[in-house]
Amino acid sequence: MAKHSERQQERHAIGADLIAVLVAAPNGNPVVLTIKDATALPSGPFELGHRSLQSGLRDWVEQQTGHPLGYIEQLYTFADRDRSGEDSSRRVISISYLGLTREEPSRATPPGSWRNWYEFFPWEDHRYGAPPVIVDVIEPALRRWADAAGHEEKRSKRWQRAAVCFGFDERGWNEELTLQRYELLYEAGLVEEAARTKEPAVQLVPGRAMDGDHRRILATGIARLRTKIKYRPVVFELMPPAFTLLQLQRAVEALAGVTVHKQNFRRLIEQQDLVEETGQMSSETGGRPAKLFRFRHAVLDELPVAGTK
Amino acid sequence: MAKHSERQQERHAIGADLIAVLVAAPNGNPVVLTIKDATALPSGPFELGHRSLQSGLRDWVEQQTGHPLGYIEQLYTFADRDRSGEDSSRRVISISYLGLTREEPSRATPPGSWRNWYEFFPWEDHRYGAPPVIVDVIEPALRRWADAAGHEEKRSKRWQRAAVCFGFDERGWNEELTLQRYELLYEAGLVEEAARTKEPAVQLVPGRAMDGDHRRILATGIARLRTKIKYRPVVFELMPPAFTLLQLQRAVEALAGVTVHKQNFRRLIEQQDLVEETGQMSSETGGRPAKLFRFRHAVLDELPVAGTK
DNA sequence: TTGATTATACTCAACTAGAGCATAATAGGG
DNA sequence: CCCTATTATGCTCTAGTTGAGTATAATCAA
């Protein structure tokens, strides 16, 4: 155990920031709360008055958006000097959180604050097939990046990594690799954030950039959520009190960025007793009316339950 | 975005500590590195000179143990005032990590530094059946705790939570709930750490206590590792370069605290191509000699691989 | 009344996971 | 050398899960 008193001077040159990836899914649109014209995630300093990190986050997010936060989960803490834009005489520790909220808040959040998260990651939305940007831009760019490696061994390692991430060479798309894909594009110098420090690539991959690490944090949040919905019933934090099974499915698909087999999705939800009928039917957009369901909150007490794989 | 400059004063009253849950498994024993006569986890301040949190941790752990850290993973960051033992005029942010190392280091670590982690959680080892402490001490104590609740509804909620955590009422043991179990015992005032602030219970549950939050952090690390080995090949970080399948199985069982079906374990490992034969056989303790295997490091590049469920 | 659209019930085959049986190869004691 | 204990290793069987498809039911709009 180091003596703390000797190090007060050094330790005091440290600050802490809380950064939030705040997600909602109003009618099947995956949106995230942003500030500064969608160039940053909402963040605020951790202050002495806060009871804990989590309550500190709750305080200012609820104050800022006017809506209560349902689910909160810590994402990652980092303090890399190279990554942060500040000078190196002091360090800021950034603690990021994933938060889910039920509705898209309107008051206290200027229009345009909530953004479809695929604006930042156009290559992540495979609900309507693989986005053209992958085969048109990303694949050739990563091929060039791989070929630019010195040794043959390194070349093939690079390409294998790219192929795993993006599902090239028959490998198939894995929606959970959102973070790995962003990091790969960053290392290959294909996103704007990387081009700021490294030499810029000839052609950047489309997708809205953000300040500092924020896009990377968003990628972390998306990846976490995409894995989490498979084994924990967290989607319901994003749903209205009553919903149809198709609405639920659309929400899951929006987050995962892939479509699922309708009948199998229903089977899964029902056999896990995640929902119960409200007894009412929906006034539908078209087609046969659907039963309305509500989340069975009791499942949260029956802990080791599964989600919506 | 808050103006940072206005808050310098407040922000500077913050320090950061790195805390390590460092795990090894020499011949099937799950051990963790401790200091101060096994009352604390190794920790050190995060300093300005450190390149990043992770490298800061690596620096002083390797310096302190003389062994390189294989796998490192962030666990959790917290700054709750109630939990930490320090005065409230300043805050320390604790960032905890899980680290895996191959061998039990001997130099630079005094004897007794590595402790079997079941000394801290005697109720977590189900390799030889459910430990008697559960039915003898924990179950009746939690029954009393549940009954002590005011409303009938709260009583049944408490008991349901206890039953889920410890597998009462036919529910079966779930080894991944290590953290939830510790937190339950803490809330029920049944561990020493809780008795320091709350009123002490009549009889505490056996198990070595630690300073501050350290036992809780250890529980977090164990729980994380128990879930991780099921879908990522991290056990191999704890194994020697060559090993028999039984040795591998013993390591997994040591971490998970439960036994597995031998033949099915072999089938799983082999069909996933996690290992390859070295061509050599083991000079065994008894019985038919076993083939020696080594980890196929290439699987780390074939990313979305499974582990040792 | 027909077609489009969505809801909902079933079926089927492939695969996975849990459990057990059988046989092989070694050591040690008589 | 044979018997027994012990561990290694191969194989089977069954139940459950998963992916994909077929069939039928309600509704609306033209």
- Would residue A114 count as lying in a domain? yes
B37 shares a domain with B139 = no
Whether B47 sits inside 8 A of A76 (CB atoms) is no
Q: In this complex, is the C-beta atom of A36 within 8 Å of any C-beta atom belonging to chain B?
A: yes
Indicate if A6 and A107 belong to the same structural domain.
yes
Does A221 reside within a domain? no
Domain presence at residue B100: yes
For chain A, percent of residues with pLDDT exceeding 90: 61
Same domain assignment for residues A107 and A145: no
From the number of C-beta atoms within 10 Å of its C-beta (0-12, 13-18, 19+), residue B110 rates as exposed
In terms of DSSP bridges, do strands A14-24 and B291-295 run parallel, antiparallel, or are they unpaired?
A: unpaired
**B92, B174: one domain:** no
> Are A77 and A129 contained in the same domain?
no
Asked whether strand C has any atom less than 7 Å from the CB of A262, the reply is yes
Q: Identify the pLDDT of residue A6.
A: 40
Instruction: Give B261's pLDDT tier (boundaries 50, 70, 90).
Output: very high
Does residue A103 sit in the same domain as residue A180?
no
What average pLDDT does this structure show over A30-41?
Answer: 94
Q: Is the pLDDT of residue B113 over 50?
A: yes
Cβ contact, residue pair A10, B48, below 8 Å:
yes
87-146 on B, CB < 7 Å from strand D: none
Most confident of A42-46, A63-67, B92-96: B92-96
| Chain C positions with any atom < 7 A from a protein CB | 4-11, 17-21, 24-27
- The predicted structure's pLDDT at residue B306: 60
- Nearest protein residue to nucleotide D27 (CA to C1' distance) is A288
Mean pLDDT, all residues of chain A: 87
Q: Which pLDDT band, with edges at 50, 70 and 90, does B9 fall under?
A: very low
Q: Do A79 and B46 touch (CB under 8 A)?
A: yes
Q: Model's pTM, two decimal places?
A: 0.91
- Supply angle C-alpha B200, B205, B210, rounded to 5: 80
| Model pLDDT, residue B79 | 85
Q: Which nucleotides of D are covered by protein (CB under 7 A)?
A: 5-12, 18-22, 25-29
A177 chain-B contacts, CB cut-off 8 A: 303-304
Question: In the numeric block, which tokens belong to residue A307?
Answer: 């989600």
What average pLDDT does the segment B129-153 reach?
95
Higher per-residue confidence, B7 vs B93 = B93
Does A130 lie in the same domain as A70? no
Q: How far is CA A155 from the centre of its chain?
A: 30
The answer to whether A305 CB sits below 7 Å from nucleic acid chain D is no
- Is the model more confident about B164 or about B107? B164
The answer for A 57-96 residues in CB contact with B (under 8 A) is 74, 76-82, 88, 90-91, 93, 95
Are the beta carbons of B36 and A95 separated by less than 8 Å?
Answer: no
Sign of the dihedral defined by the CA atoms of residues A125, A131, A137, A140, in that order: positive
Q: Average pLDDT, whole number, for chain B? A: 87
Give domain status of residue A95, yes or no: yes
- Residue A12's alpha-carbon distances to A1, A5, A9, B44, B46, in angstroms, are 18, 11, 5, 15, 11
* Residue after which a domain boundary falls, among B118, B142, B165: B118
Query: Which residue among A118, A145, A176 closes a domain?
Result: A118
Q: Kindly tell me if the per-residue pLDDT of A271 is higher than 80.
A: yes
List the domain range (segments joined by +) for residue A12. Answer: 2-118
Contact between the CB of A289 and strand D at under 7 Å = yes
Which of B137, B172, B207 finishes a domain? B207
In a domain, B212, yes or no: no
Residues A80, A5 contacting (CB under 8 angstroms): no
Contact assignment for B53 to A90 by CB distance below 8 Å: no
Cα–Cα distance, A213 to A79 (Å, whole number): 11
Sequence-distant (≥ 6) Cβ neighbours of residue A87 within 8 angstroms: none
Closest C-alpha among B152, B45, B230, B231 to residue A91: B45
Q: Do A48 and A88 fall into the same domain?
A: yes
What are the φ/ψ torsions at residue B123 (nearest 5 degrees)?
A: -80, 0
Nearest to B103 by CA among B186, B27, B172: B27
Least confident of A77-91, B62-76, B175-189, B195-209: A77-91
| D13 C1' to B263 CA distance, Å | 14
Domain count, chain A: 3
- Residue contact A52–B78, C-beta within 8 A: yes
What is the separation of C-alpha A83 from the centre of its chain, rounded to a whole number of angstroms? Answer: 19
* In a domain? residue A126: yes
Mean pLDDT of A92-99: 93
Question: Do A49 and A149 fall into the same domain?
Answer: no
Q: Looking at the predicted structure, is the pLDDT value of residue A88 above 70?
A: no
Does the CB of A298 have a partner CB in chain B at under 8 Å? no
Look up residue B140 and give its two tokens.
Answer: 């009746």
**Main-chain phi, psi angles of B73, to 5 degrees:** -145, 135
Interchain CB contact of B161 with A (< 8 Å): yes
Residue range B228-243: mean pLDDT, rounded: 93
What six digits make up the tokens of A265?
A: 């999705």
Q: Which nucleotide across the nucleic acid strands is nearest to B244, CA versus C1'?
A: D8
Which residues of chain A lie closer than 8 angstroms to B10, CB-CB?
A: 45, 47-48
* DSSP secondary structure, A257-279, as one string: TS---HHHHHHHHHHTT-EEEEE
B69 and B105 in a common domain: yes
Residues A243-268: what's their mean pLDDT?
A: 95
| Percentage with pLDDT > 70 across chain B | 87
Q: Return the DSSP state at A214.
A: H
Query: B14 to chain A nearest CA, in Å?
Result: 6
User: Is B3's Cβ below 8 Å from some Cβ in A?
Assistant: no
Same structural domain for residues B192 and B103? no
For residue B162, is pLDDT > 90? yes
CATH number assigned to the domain comprising residue A258: 1.10.10.10
Is residue B225 a part of any domain in this protein? Answer: no
A195 with A145, same domain: the answer is: yes
Q: How far is A252 from chain B (nearest CA, A)?
A: 21
Residue nearest to nucleotide C4 (CA to C1'): A287
For chains A and B, CB pairs below 8 A equal: 143
| Closest Cα in chain A, distance from residue B139 (Å) | 18
- Identify the burial level of A153 via C-beta atoms within 10 angstroms of its C-beta, where 0-12 means exposed, 13-18 middle and 19 or more buried: exposed
Indicate the pairing of strand B31-33 with strand B43-45.
unpaired
CB contact under 8 A, B79 and A36: no
- A214 within a domain of the structure (yes/no): no
Judged by CB atoms closer than 8 Å, whether chains meet at A95 and B90 is answered as: no
CATH number of the domain encompassing residue B50: 3.90.79.10
Two tokens, residue A247: 């609405």
Residue B126 CB contacts under 8 Å (≥ 6 apart), including other chains: B173, B175, B257, B258
